[in-house]
Amino acid sequence: MPPPRKVDLLPAELKFWLQEELRSRGFGGYEDLAEALNFRLEKAGSELRIRKSALHAFGQEYEEFVKYQEQASAWAADWMQEQGLAEEAKRHNVLFQMITTLAFKVMQAQMIKEGGEIDPKELHFLGRMLKDVMASSGIRESLIVAERKAQAAKLDEAVEAGDIDKEAAAKARRIMGFGE
């Protein structure tokens, strides 16, 4: 197993600072960033020093993570909005965003592997995790209720249009399990 990257050895507060700096600098200016980070490390009494190339590698990885996080957030917000779940989305957005970001990260890691290297367990756990989040947040139940309402409205429209009679619509409601 390779040794940990120097960036991974940073104390949490410096790693957070580094991430904020990367964003504010537009994921550029690595020479100045290395100088500023190493100054902070020296000031903190650490002997750890990080070169521009290591920061650049970390910066590219972090930039991609931020991109995936933004894409996941936008996707989740759009999907929930399309489903008419705006209030639910507000309550569960943080959890869903975190899980979706993690899912993108896992999928990204799996995509660079060859067929035989892909661990089916990881994909199974990813799918299970997403399913559990959706189920626990009530999204699934809300979707079912919305779908049943849409089906009932279609039956009502069909009765009004004369395509089916009331008795057939009532029978269809009973068969689909949502009564009259």
Whether residue 93 is contained in a domain is answered as yes
Whether residue 166 is contained in a domain is answered as no
Whether residue 80 is contained in a domain is answered as yes
* Per-residue pLDDT tens digits for 3-60: 888 888 888 888 889 999 999 999 999 999 999 999 999 999 999 999 999 999 999 9
Q: Is the pLDDT of residue 66 over 80?
A: yes
Angle between helices 12-24 and 52-82 (to 10 degrees): 80
Q: Residue 34 sits in which domain range?
A: 6-137
Q: Tell me which residue has tokens 């009494």.
A: 45
For residue 47, what is the enclosing H or E element? none
| Contact partners, residue 97, CB within 8 Å, separation at least 6 | 69, 72, 73, 76
Whether residue 78 is contained in a domain is answered as yes
Whether residue 156 is contained in a domain is answered as no
Whether residue 51 is contained in a domain is answered as yes
Closest CA to 154 of 176, 132, 134: 176
* Per-residue pLDDT tens digits for 122-178: 777 777 777 776 666 666 667 677 778 888 888 889 889 988 888 888 888 888 777
